[in-house]
Structure 1
Amino acid sequence: MKYFGKNTWVYLDGEFVKADSTVIDLFGQSLHYGYSAIEGIRAYNTHNGTRLFRAEQHYDRLRHSCKQTGIAFPWETDLLVDKTYQLLEKNNLRSAYVRPLVTTGHNMYLTPASDSSIVITAWEWGPFLGTDLIRTTLSPFERPNPKSVPVDAKISGHYVASIMATTEATKRGFDEAILLDSNGYVAQASSNNLFIEKDTVLYTPSLGHIFPGITRQTVLEIAKIFNIEVMEKQISTEELKAADSAFLTGTATGIVGIAGVDDTTFPEEWGDTLGATMQRAYKNLTLEKENYEVII
């Protein structure tokens, strides 16, 4: 997939520049150590025009990620949101994925660099895992231990484990990997949060070892509006495989249903699940539609 061309603009440290004119800092900590923070934001083509979904929350979380790891973040959220809309307009994008990235400067010591840089890119990108039900597998790789790195920070280096888990899963014929935490409980997929349904109740791994996704939080809010019971708890692999259905959530992914895990197929028809209800409601919300369905 090609993410930019000769006419693609990016926002870099206060200016709009052509993507192919940017350079890499060969002595930066981000390149050598993965010491950088990222975000992912979706822009949707709604009947009210192009809309960034919860952009303020994403940029506030980017600030939090930098604060958690000692990366300087001098930019104001309102400015970044405004520049993101300008970037979409300059690239003639109505529906897009937006990637803000904060990198760090020259420093080969294992201490924070004093300066940082922000770049915002955007490109057309469909749902990360497609729209069909996916097959998942329990991964031999684990989520980072929260005693080693802050798991609620979206740090670039975290994704090495995600790449390894996804690569291992796809080599075995699966679409996505489910990672356990350091205590052996189900945590999340490589870059998405997990929900399971059992006896008309939704369950999702509790905070502590997982990344607290904004789409995950949105699902919790929708469930409250629809009076759907959700329990945040530690989930065993046995509970996962005994579920009636399951789905993943994430900004790049949206909401996607899971057909099964390893050799287990979930018994509930996807269209009849709470996950399918959440999928429809989430789509309506992102597209700013008002016809929320009624659950019977």
Structure 2
Amino acid sequence: MYYNNNTLIYLDKKFVKASEATTDLYSQTMHYGYGVFEGIRAYATKNGTRVFKIKEHYERLKRSCELVNIPLDYSVQTLVDATNMLLEKNNLSDAYVRPLVFCDPNMALTRPKEVSIMICAWEWGAYLGDKHLRLNVSSYCRPHPRSIKIEAKVCGHYVNSILATNEAKDNGYDEALLLDSDGYLAEGPGANLFFEKDGVLFTPQLGNILPGITRATVLELAEKLGVEVQQGLYKPEVLALADSAFYCGTAAEVIGIASVDDTVFPKAWTDTLGKKLQDAYSEFVRQSEKTLRTTTAL
């Protein structure tokens, strides 16, 4: 699904076949989830491949490493160049890119002295599909920000996401919605939440959620479109009275939400702010770098 015998990955400054790459089973990342990663999308445009907000993603990767004391001695530009070369070598334009920083063998609970970085890519459609989602409020909550670095994209944090997603699917829903430890709306297992009420867009404030790059892009687009957005703390009861809602994330892009715990949102998706932003996002990420520079200059 992700690679074949000809697929190349970037591993510690070399391009090697994915089928021949190896790692050490005593890695701290394998045993404790002590590693960081990113999810990045590349899009085919009329002027070539555009890797959307690639510098922002690698800046966050380096920031995640710093927050959890993982040394990563690579510049953002080195990682950008490696990614572009990887896509070219694998003849990929529309692709999902996954950088992973993983630690050397160490059975102690101490910071690593050496780490490795792997970058791989594969063709992948919208992670949550294209149908509107039926959500289930999870019995699992997001970790408290004093228990982890919530703004870091750390491998081990996603056990929480896996548990919530599987619970929702086992209950007959498409995806989960997690609250924070105080019972306020947080986010999905791998996406940020927005909801609409009376022509205003609302989203949980930073502090208990991952500061998503797609979330930031949606906020930018909303401002350009003249859409009012409020960020704050909201209980599930507020969401139940909303007109519409959507998730957004690099893998999921922008995807509408049909219902939460069988409470159906009343507004037709075609008439929602979410649909307006979904269209704007789809157009924006597929603009070529040349077109984007020209538009910005104007």
When the two structures are superposed, what TM-score results if normalisation uses the length of structure 1?
A: 0.97
Which residue identity does 1:116 align to in structure 2?
V
Return the letter of the residue paired with 2:253. Answer: G
Is 1:53–2:69 an aligned residue pair?
A: no
Aligned pairs, how many? 290
Deviation at 1:227, TM superposition (A): 1.1
Q: What is the distance in 1 between the residues matched to 2:79 and 2:106?
A: 26
Q: Distance in 2 between matches of 1:57 and 1:127?
A: 21
**Cα distance between partner residues in 1 of 2:287 and 2:262:** 38
What are the equivalent positions in structure 2 for 1:164-175 lying under 5 Å apart? 164-175=163-174
Residue identity opposite 2:177 in structure 1: I
Which whole-Å CA distance do the structure 2 matches of 1:46 and 1:253 have between them? 19
CA contact (8 A) 2:134 2:262 kept: no
List per-residue Cα deviations over 1:104-144 (Å, max 9, x = no partner). Answer: 11211101110011000000000000111111010000111
Rounded to whole Å, the distance in 2 between the matches of 1:27 and 1:173 is 38
Amino acid at match of 1:159: Y
Residue in 2 that maps onto 1:211: 210
Aligned to 2:103: 104
Deviations 1:31-50 (A, max 9, x none): 00000000000000111111
1:29 and 2:36 correspond: no
Which sits farther off after the overlay, 229-238 or 20-29?
20-29
Q: Secondary structure at the match of 2:110?
A: coil
Query: For residue 115 of structure 1, what is the aligned residue in structure 2?
Result: 114
SS of the equivalent of 1:239 reads: helix
- Asked if the contact 2:244–2:265 (Cα under 8 Å) also holds between the matched residues in 1, the reply is yes
Alignment partners' CA distance in 2, 1:57 and 1:25? 30
**1:58 and 1:51 mapped to 2: Cα distance?**
14
The structural deviation recorded for 1:251 is 0.1
Distance 1:202 1:120 in 2: 35
One-letter amino acid of the structure 2 residue matched with residue 186 of structure 1: L
Q: What residue identity is the alignment partner of 1:15?
A: K
Aligned partners of 1:250, 1:54: CA distance in 2, in Å?
Answer: 13
Match of 1:147 in 2: 146
Q: Which residue of 2 aligns with 1:294?
A: none
- Structure 1: 5+ residue stretches without partners: 292-296
| 2:278 match | 279
Question: Which residue number in structure 2 is paired with residue 94 of structure 1?
Answer: 93
User: How far off is 1:100 after superposition?
Assistant: 0.1
Q: Distance in 2 between matches of 1:272 and 1:46?
A: 28
Please list the CA deviations of residues 72-122 of structure 1 after superposition, one character each: whole Å capped at 9, or x if unmatched: 110011111111011011111110000000001121110111001100000
Partner of 1:135: 134
1:284 deviates by 0.6
Aligned partners of 1:94 and 1:219: how far apart in 2? 23
Partner of 1:238: 237
Q: Percent identity?
A: 51
Structure 2 length-normalised TM = 0.96
Q: Distance in 2 between matches of 1:48 and 1:148?
A: 45
By how many angstroms is 1:244 displaced?
0.2
Rounded Cα–Cα distance in structure 2 between residues aligned with 1:255 and 1:25: 37
Residues in 2 aligned to 1:183 and 1:24: alpha-carbon distance in whole angstroms: 40
What secondary structure does 2:60 align onto? Answer: helix
Q: Secondary structure at the match of 1:235?
A: coil
Partner Cα distance (1:68, 1:221) in 2: 26
Distance in 1, matches of 2:101 and 2:262, equals 41
Cα separation, 2, equivalents of 1:286 and 1:6: 30
Tell me, in whole angstroms, the C-alpha distance in 2 between the residues paired with 1:48 and 1:219.
24
Residue 173 of structure 1: how far off its partner (Å):
1.0
